[in-house]
Structure 1
Amino acid sequence: MNQQNVQDLNTLPVKTLFWRYVIPSIAGMLVIGLYTVVDGIFVGRYVGAHALAAINLAYPLILLQVGLGAMISMGAATRISILQGAGRNQEAKQALANTLLIIAALGILLPIIGISQLDYLLALLNADNDPAVLQEARSYLSLMLWGGLVTIGQMAVIYLVRNDGRPQFITWLVVIGGFSNMALNYVFVVVLGWGLAGSAGATLLVETVITVTGLIYFFSPFARLRIALKDLRPHWQSMPSMLGLGISSLLMEANLAFLLFAHNYQLLEYGQGSDVAAYAVAGYTEAVFILLIHGLALGMQPLLSHATGAKQAQRLAQTLSYGLQVSLAISLTLLAIVQFFPQTIATLYAGQDQALIESATRALQMHLFALPFDGAIIVGVIALQAMALTRLSMLGTLGKTLLLIPALWFIPQWWGVDGVYLALPFVNMLIGMVIASVLWRELCRLKHGHQSTVYSVI
């Protein structure tokens, strides 16, 4: 961080700094959310409810692939940064070579193992509950398994090119990829009528372009950490430590995969494939909200961390307080849209499918009624991490999982499918109130000039 940035963080008004950091962060997340939602709209309107259900059922396994990519990418980026900071550039090249070799190995192993066990995996996901859903899930999952190399590869490119000091380049690459994905979805799904396989093909084609571009970059003179073919030799001793640095990212994605699997399983236990499709509509809508709030929280992070390190209690309190107010405003706005216009949202995905519109309307209103509490959890967890209160931040991450599993088991026994939709909001209300009380305590201490627990852990 240069001297001008430090001076700005110390002297500029908090609200000025807040929007300077938050707006680009939210904008980046909105691009991701936009093409994610457009994917769902194309699939729902032009393929059908069974295709939405198929994506939702297959997605836990896709999340595990993403988790492997996140583990490799985060571990490699962290290790390379540490080695470069220590002036050990040759070892940093070894870490980059290890990353490429591990990705190549997984790109071979994942389809070999996954395709050979495809029927077992589909049965495990309960996709064989509905023949139409099974057919689409088989097509989608087999393609995504074959494309594991580029799914993991594009994640590594995003992490490592940014890590190499080219954040603007990778941001533009991701933005162009996002809009290309939308255009290809239109061509493959709507024009050519390739169904869910077309949507998967569009995603994999864009991921291939990003992966290949990243590879070319690291072999080019533009890379600060440039490698050559002769560098592509495994360094076995450093692989475990590199992967260990990213293991938490794998666990996070595995946790999401398990929770999605649990929702899908219970929906099929107490309902049918159309209920999974309705839940998918709610999930796409929820994803937009989560990305918005995540962008807000990530934008706040540098401000909170700097104020914590500089022991600027008043600026820390102002940033945290303002961030929570903005989060609440966004949450209440989206909650009002969901509760007053659920049919409009459902129609975006369902087209003329009246049965899906009705079930998705109900899923949206029930599954998303606790958005303000969800917002408090997301902002709270990231804010507590930014303030070095990592133990307290675990209340939001671990607490949600520990409570949601029994909630998904017991509540549907009384309320059936509605109970599956309501399990997460009930848990979010409880965890959100706990996180809010923790943040309120910290704000009170900071505003009254008392020493915060923040300073006792740094």
Structure 2
Amino acid sequence: METKLDSYHLPVTGRNILRFAFPTIVMTVFNTFYTMVDGLFVSNLIGTNALSAINLTAPAVGLITAVSGMLATGGSAVVMRKMGEGREQEARQDFTLLILTNALVGAVMMALGYGLMDTLLGAMGLSAEVFAYCRDYLCVYLVFTIPILLMYNFSLYLIAADRSRLSLACTVAGGAANMVLDYVLIAPLGLGIRGAAAATGLGYSITAAVGVWVFRRRDQLLHFEKPVFRGDVLFRASTNGLSELATSLVSGITTLLFNLAMLKYIGEDGVAAITIIMYVLMFVSALFIGYSYGVAPMISYYHGEKNREKLKKLVRFSIRFILGTSVLCAVVSILATTPLVGIFTRPGGPVYDLAVTGNRLCSLALLFVGLNVFASGMFTALSNGVVSAVLAFSRSFLFTAAAIQLMPVLLGGVTGVWLATPAAELLGTVLAVALLLRYRSRYGY
């Protein structure tokens, strides 16, 4: 019944590493792509107020993503380390415990969401139309809280269990379903923004359903088994995934800060422009996130196996690959700014002109974001959640918030806002390099 995780025993070469990480890269890019498609459908079929409502509900959606990301990445590191140590049964028990914990947390979050929704939205001082859009979207989205949490977890556990192709297939199927349902539910069926929320939830649910089906089969090395409660497992999974929690939580805050800055210096056109730029940057950044997620189980496994030679080869190739890809992505984003922005808004308008200028400046951040994402994910995989959280929090909140406040003053208005993200990512890279050098001897990379 036991089978080997063959991919972990292959030679550590660039080809094998990329083959292992490729499905995750495609998966995260595809996820980001259909997030962008959501915005396109909502903007074109409903209106810009509905698109604004989706952005305003981002903190609530981000909270769900934050918890799922924390438990998924942190839990995967704990489980795969035990697999590497040869403690398979204990790893399966922990895996089952973590999945059940996700479901319980999802139920609590859903209840809190419905209970606090009106109060939180009412405190934002929204117009009646935008308030109604926000409420309609969240009322449907929250129904899918548990499947969304399970989707994030099963995506990573399928990869960790050497089923990355199946994980990719689920993501592609979910994304395709989301795109088709976006159009069908919003337009022909007339469900409006509720249809957009339902399309997203149903798309995510595909991976959740497949994960339950796969991991209930006992012929899999990683499968459901009667759980044994170990408080230290939940604690380590949570602390290991602190960086992912921090990253998702503060993204909503930084988005709000950017919007306030744009309202101050330009107005609503600036908010629309920076929303477009965030979509573009998010799409390219998904490459780095996908690679980091893809190699994280390998890092955890080699760390648990105490195989420093393989770990060193893996980390050093990853850094070279990320640096080269970062330069390429920055150049492509700058050169392709015009067609990228044109997808979201028509040329000649004030939003288009603002977004073109802003994207060319913000694309400089892509020189640094890849190494920052990888460093944080690597320390999570090494079960050093504290360092990972410091990196993620500093880069995504501390440096970003400071840059949003200082750069417009130093450089004058909107130019400073555009360059805030590159400045924050540059500071994040300085910190990441310092910590990578400091812990190099401890982990042997």
State TM-score, norm by structure 2.
0.78
Residue 215 of structure 1: how far off its partner (Å): 2.4
Q: Aligned residue for 2:116?
A: 117
Q: Aligned residue for 1:198?
A: 195
One-letter code aligned to 2:191? W
Task: Please say if residues 285 and 366 of structure 2, whose CA atoms lie closer than 8 Å, have aligned partners that are also in contact.
Answer: no
The one of 266, 272, 276 aligned to 1:277: 272
Structure 2 stretches lacking a partner, 5+ long:
none
One-letter code aligned to 1:27? V
| Higher mean C-alpha deviation, range 375-384 or range 181-190 | 375-384
Matches of 1:37 and 1:251, distance apart in 2: 23
Matches of 1:60 and 1:277, distance apart in 2: 18
Task: Please say if residues 21 and 295 of structure 2, whose CA atoms lie closer than 8 Å, have aligned partners that are also in contact.
Answer: yes
Equivalences, count: 433
Residue 278 of structure 1: how far off its partner (Å): 2.4
Instruction: Give the 3 Å change call, closer, same or farther, for CA 362–197 of structure 1 in structure 2.
Output: farther
Q: Aligned residue for 2:335?
A: 336
Task: Please say if residues 50 and 133 of structure 1, whose CA atoms lie closer than 8 Å, have aligned partners that are also in contact.
Answer: yes
Q: Aligned residue for 2:359?
A: 364
Matches of 1:239 and 1:313, distance apart in 2: 27
Q: Within 5 A, what are the aligned runs for 1:189-338?
A: 189-227=186-224, 231=226, 235=229, 237=231, 240-241=234-235, 243-248=237-242, 249-268=244-263, 272-296=267-291, 309-310=308-309, 320-321=319-320, 323-338=322-337
Instruction: Give the 3 Å change call, closer, same or farther, for CA 314–198 of structure 1 in structure 2.
Output: closer
Q: Aligned residue for 2:53?
A: 54
* Structure 2 counterpart SS, 1:350: coil
| Higher mean C-alpha deviation, range 19-28 or range 399-408 | 19-28
| Higher mean C-alpha deviation, range 419-428 or range 291-300 | 291-300
One-letter code aligned to 2:259? N
Matches of 1:155 and 1:299, distance apart in 2: 13
Matches of 1:73 and 1:108, distance apart in 2: 17
Q: Deviations over 1:197-226 (max 9, x none)?
A: 222110111223332332233334554455
One-letter code aligned to 1:158? S
Task: Please say if residues 36 and 279 of structure 2, whose CA atoms lie closer than 8 Å, have aligned partners that are also in contact.
Answer: yes
* Structure 1 counterpart SS, 2:57: helix
| Higher mean C-alpha deviation, range 264-273 or range 204-213 | 264-273
- Name which one, 1 or 2, has greater alpha-carbon Rg: 1
* Structure 1 counterpart SS, 2:336: helix
Q: Aligned residue for 2:403?
A: 407
Over aligned residue pairs, what C-alpha RMSD do you find? 4.3
Which stretches of structure 1, 4 residues or longer, exceed 6 Å deviation after superposition?
A: 1-5, 311-319, 383-395, 436-439
Identity across matched positions, percent: 21
Matches of 2:92 and 2:318, distance apart in 1: 39
Instruction: Give the 3 Å change call, closer, same or farther, for CA 271–220 of structure 1 in structure 2.
Output: same
Matches of 1:88 and 1:19, distance apart in 2: 26
* Structure 2 counterpart SS, 1:191: coil
Q: Does 1:171 align with 2:178?
A: no
Task: Please say if residues 74 and 240 of structure 2, whose CA atoms lie closer than 8 Å, have aligned partners that are also in contact.
Answer: yes
Task: Please say if residues 52 and 277 of structure 1, whose CA atoms lie closer than 8 Å, have aligned partners that are also in contact.
Answer: no
Q: Deviations over 1:238-292 (max 9, x none)?
A: 6743653554132332233332333334445556555333222111111111012
Q: Aligned residue for 1:65?
A: 64
Task: Please say if residues 384 and 393 of structure 1, whose CA atoms lie closer than 8 Å, have aligned partners that are also in contact.
Answer: yes
Instruction: Give the 3 Å change call, closer, same or farther, for CA 44–251 of structure 1 in structure 2.
Output: same
Q: Aligned residue for 1:134?
A: 131
Matches of 1:315 and 1:158, distance apart in 2: 22
Task: Please say if residues 110 and 146 of structure 1, whose CA atoms lie closer than 8 Å, have aligned partners that are also in contact.
Answer: no
Matches of 1:388 and 1:77, distance apart in 2: 10
| Higher mean C-alpha deviation, range 16-25 or range 144-153 | 16-25
Matches of 2:323 and 2:278, distance apart in 1: 23
Residue 386 of structure 1: how far off its partner (Å): 8.5
Q: Aligned residue for 1:447?
A: none
Q: Within 5 A, what are the aligned runs for 1:406-445?
A: 406-412=402-408, 415-416=412-413, 419-432=416-429
One-letter code aligned to 2:189? L
Residue 422 of structure 1: how far off its partner (Å): 3.2
Task: Please say if residues 56 and 277 of structure 1, whose CA atoms lie closer than 8 Å, have aligned partners that are also in contact.
Answer: no
One-letter code aligned to 2:138? L
Task: Please say if residues 389 and 454 of structure 1, whose CA atoms lie closer than 8 Å, have aligned partners that are also in contact.
Answer: no
One-letter code aligned to 1:47? I
Residue 30 of structure 1: how far off its partner (Å): 2.9
